[in-house]
Amino acid sequence: MSGPPAIEAVDLTRSYDLGGERVQALKGVSLTIGDGEYAAILGPSGSGKSTLMHVLGALDRPTTGTLRIAGRDVAGLDGDALAELRNAHIGFVFQSFHLLARTSAVDNVALPLAYRGVPKGERRLRAAAALERVGLGHRLGHRPNQLSGGEQQRVAIARALVGGPRLVLADEPTGNLDTRTGHEVMDLLERLNGDQGVAVVLVTHEPDVAERAPRRIHVRDGLIETDEREAGR
């Protein structure tokens, strides 16, 4: 029997205060991301797509609704337990890379393993292997300011993968890259999904990036407007 889906969301809402007003960014979103899926979340600015990404990744808690990660309901988890669950099951890739400026590529990648208590020698070996997988085995000792934008994003992807997650959440992963480099990063994410079975969900406002995904979830005004799957992909 297969295990539970990577993510299950049921009727999620997310509200917050902005300038004395109550803003409802999500208005009742339900979706499931299965193991090995590859999906794009897209929508106009202010549609709620980035809020949805943060809630699905348990970086932000929903106001109401149910979120399960690998079958586990996050509602009763404190901050430490939630962080452990994220670390074990989800890898994150952000538009601005979020790399430590004074830290080498290999130590940036090893950081999630340090939070798990993996011994230093082992985590550096695993980080080096992850960098090799994204084509940066020759850049282990380089700091972010010694790397191109595309290389920095590859380091971020290696960091997302080093812990063996079931799911990678990528928020505008090509947003700070030129067109050619953006295509290379997308090629890499697609290979990881196809060859290694890692589920990938990316947020994008770029139609050409979204078109590469076999599942496209359109968000507007805090709701899922359409959820399209291409047959045979």
Read off the pLDDT of residues 62-100 as tens digits, 9 standing for 90 and up: 999 999 999 999 998 999 999 999 989 999 998 888 999
C-alpha span between 68 and 164 (Å, rounded):
19
In a domain, 212, yes or no: yes
Residue 196, pLDDT above cutoff 80? yes
**Secondary structure letter of residue 146 according to DSSP:** G
User: What was the pLDDT predicted at 231?
Assistant: 66
User: What was the pLDDT predicted at 142?
Assistant: 97
In a domain, 216, yes or no: yes
C-alpha span between 157 and 127 (Å, rounded):
11
Quote the mean pLDDT of the chain.
92
Average pLDDT of 145-159?
A: 94
- The 10 Å CB-count burial string (b at 16+, else e) for 99-120 is beeeebbbbbbbebbeeeebee
In a domain, 44, yes or no: yes
Locus of tokens 């994008």: 204
In a domain, 8, yes or no: no
Please give the tally of structural domains in the chain.
Answer: 1
State percent of the chain over pLDDT 70: 98
Residue 119, pLDDT above cutoff 90? yes
Residue 118, pLDDT above cutoff 90? yes
User: What was the pLDDT predicted at 222?
Assistant: 95
Residue 32 pairs in a beta bridge with 8
C-alpha span between 91 and 31 (Å, rounded):
19
In a domain, 18, yes or no: no
Domain that holds residue 140: 36-59+79-229
User: What was the pLDDT predicted at 230?
Assistant: 79
CATH number at residue 150: 3.40.50.300
Letter for the amino acid at 233? Answer: R
User: What was the pLDDT predicted at 51?
Assistant: 93
In a domain, 154, yes or no: yes
State percent of the chain over pLDDT 90: 74
C-alpha span between 42 and 178 (Å, rounded):
20
User: What was the pLDDT predicted at 232?
Assistant: 57
Letter for the amino acid at 175? Answer: G
Instruction: Confirm if 90 and 170 have CB atoms less than 8 A apart.
Output: no
Instruction: Confirm if 36 and 193 have CB atoms less than 8 A apart.
Output: yes
Residue 8, pLDDT above cutoff 90? yes
In a domain, 188, yes or no: yes
Which DSSP helix (H) or strand (E) runs through 161?
helix 149-161
**Secondary structure letter of residue 144 according to DSSP:** G
User: What was the pLDDT predicted at 192?
Assistant: 87
Question: Which distant-in-sequence residues (6+ apart) come within 8 Å of 47 by Cβ?
Answer: 219, 220, 221, 222
- Kindly state the tokens that stand for 153: 């994003």
pTM value? 0.90
Q: Which of 229, 160, 224 is nearest to 188 (CA)?
A: 160
In a domain, 31, yes or no: no
Confidence of residue 1 (pLDDT cuts 50, 70, 90): very low
